[in-house]
Amino acid sequence: MTTVTAPAVPVPLLDLKKQYATIREEILRVTADVYESQHFILGPRVEAFEKAVASYVGARHAIGMSSGTDAQLSVMMALGVGPGDDVVTSPYTFFSTAGAIARLGARAVFVDIEPETFNLDPSKLESAITSRAKLIQPVHLYGQCADMDPIRDVARRKGVPVLEDACQSLGAGYKGVKAGALGEFGAFSFFPSKNLGGFGDGGMVTTQDDAFAAKLRAMRMHGETSRYHHKFVGGNFRLDALQAAILHVKLPHLDGWARARRANAAEIEALYLAAGGRPYEAGGLLFPREAAGREHVFNQFVVRVGKGRRNALKKLLDERQIGNAIYYPVPLHLQECFASLGGRPGDCPEAEKAANETLALPVFPELTAEQKSALATTLASFSREL
């Protein structure tokens, strides 16, 4: 029975109200402009935001989409992914990564993850690619890029394009290149909890390919290439002007918010160690590490909890009103809806281990010193109670 003592300071997992307070006047101004214009679907607001994201990422094109899910789905539709095709991806990620594949009748082929980064393990990639492979979809999970050089090497040898699932990683870097400019395509999400979050759903695809960008712009309009003339069967995947206006206000703040998240993650770990927090091997915590050549933007701050104590720590944090979340408790290869793929326990041992050990903790930029201290002290005390 744990006897943890720490200051009784509630700490939310995320507090978007604090962020909004810092940009409220500008948000109200641009949204009022949209209301006055009565132009809500695509248009100049979306075009301006697309250009800004393309410049930020280092891509020739950025195409606004209705969500991160639809960003992934639209790329697969434009590539003609369908029955008989494989898409090779990670089993340890949000559902949409594989959900989009299944919706098109293709087969998700899961490659286990690296334990240090939680991203697809490049050393296991080549053996998973067969003649059926139509696409490789690595995930930049939690705000850190996958190891893209060896992934791209395999993709080139096999002649398979790469779609970066960068839905959690706008602003993350890999050897000086930003997520979304590392593969043939990149998919982003602007779900409200993301580092760049809208006031509802939104997404984007980035690419260097002029022809593919034109096809995606048609794809998001039901495949329409001119008014009421449809060259493809697409979908209603458009980004709203209101979301684009809000996101455009937020974009210049993104790097500063990421720096604050990185600083908070480092400070919480330092406070944990100063308070006598134990290492993972002794039943304590293993904090995330930024891999060489990468810039982590900490969309989530995910630790490992040793000796099977993750759920006990979650229970304690819940009791103490300290925000936390499990991303993700069931790897995709073991999800009921993918049973037909034949996944079994033990197929992806690192993903399965991460699903049982990881816990996301507060790291948002506006955390106060008192909140960080309360979190770190609680974690350290828990780690010493065995």
CATH number at residue 105: 3.40.640.10
- 6 within domain boundaries: no
Q: So what's the pLDDT on residue 9? A: 87
Claim to verify: residue 238 and residue 262 sit in the same structural domain: no
Strand, coil or helix: 193? coil
Please report which confidence band the pLDDT of residue 386 belongs to, taking 50, 70 and 90 as the band edges. Answer: confident
Mean pLDDT of the chain: 96
Name the token pair of 111.
């490659």
Residues 178 and 258 both lie in one domain: no
pLDDT grade, residue 45 (50/70/90)?
very high
- Examine residue 281 and state whether it is found in any structural domain, yes or no: yes
Same domain for 298 and 341: yes
Pair 74, 166 in one domain: yes
220/352 same-domain check: no
**8 lies in a domain?**
no
Question: In the chain, what percentage of residues exceed pLDDT 70?
Answer: 98
Report whether pLDDT(5) > 70.
no
Domain-located, residue 11: no
pLDDT at 42: 94
**pLDDT tens digit string along 328-371?**
999 999 999 999 999 999 999 999 999 999 999 999 999 999 99
Please tell me the distance from the alpha carbon of residue 46 to that of residue 239, in angstroms, as a whole number. Answer: 7
pLDDT at 35: 97
Digit-coded pLDDT (tens) for 204-214: 999 999 999 99
* Structural domains in the chain (count): 2
Predicted TM-score (pTM) of this structure: 0.95
- 177 and 188 co-located in one domain: yes
Is residue 329 located within the same domain as residue 359? yes
Q: Count other Cβ atoms within 10 Å, centred on residue 176.
A: 8
Task: Give the Cα separation of 80 and 185 in Å (integer).
Answer: 14
Residue 182 falls inside a structural domain:
yes
Q: What is residue 114's predicted lDDT score, i.e. its pLDDT?
A: 98
Domain hosting residue 213, numbered range: 19-252
| Domain end (from 208, 224, 252) | 252
Tell me which DSSP letter residue 236 carries: B
**pLDDT(1) > 60:** no
Under the banding of pLDDT at 50, 70 and 90, the label for residue 265 is: very high
Start-to-end CA span in the chain (Å): 8
> Domain boundary residue among 216, 231, 252?
252
- Whether residue 177 is predicted with pLDDT greater than 50 in this model: the reply is yes
Distance between CA atoms of residues 87 and 341, nearest Å: 13
Asked if 23 contacts 250 with a C-beta cutoff of 8 angstroms, the reply is yes
Cα–Cα distance between 207 and 221 in angstroms, integer? 18
Say whether pLDDT at 194 is over 60: yes
Looking at the domain assignment, is residue 2 inside a domain?
Answer: no
Tokens of 330: 């069931």
- Name residue 281's amino acid: E
Q: What is the CATH number of the domain that holds 275?
A: 3.90.1150.10
In a domain, 101, yes or no: yes
Domain boundary among 252, 284, 317: 252
Model confidence at 2: pLDDT above 60: no
Q: Are residues 86 and 220 in the same domain?
A: yes
Q: Are residues 120 and 269 in the same domain?
A: no
Tens digits of per-residue pLDDT, 99-125?
A: 999 999 999 999 999 999 999 999 999
One domain, residues 286 and 185: no
Backbone angles phi, psi at 88, to 5 degrees: -95, 125
List pLDDT tens digits, range 273-289.
Answer: 999 999 999 999 999 99
Same domain? For 139 and 75 the reply is: yes
Residue at 178 is within a domain: yes
Domain check: are 239 and 316 in the same one?
A: no
Edge-to-edge strand order for the sheet containing 133-137? 107-110, 86-89, 133-137
Tell me the residue length of the chain. Answer: 386
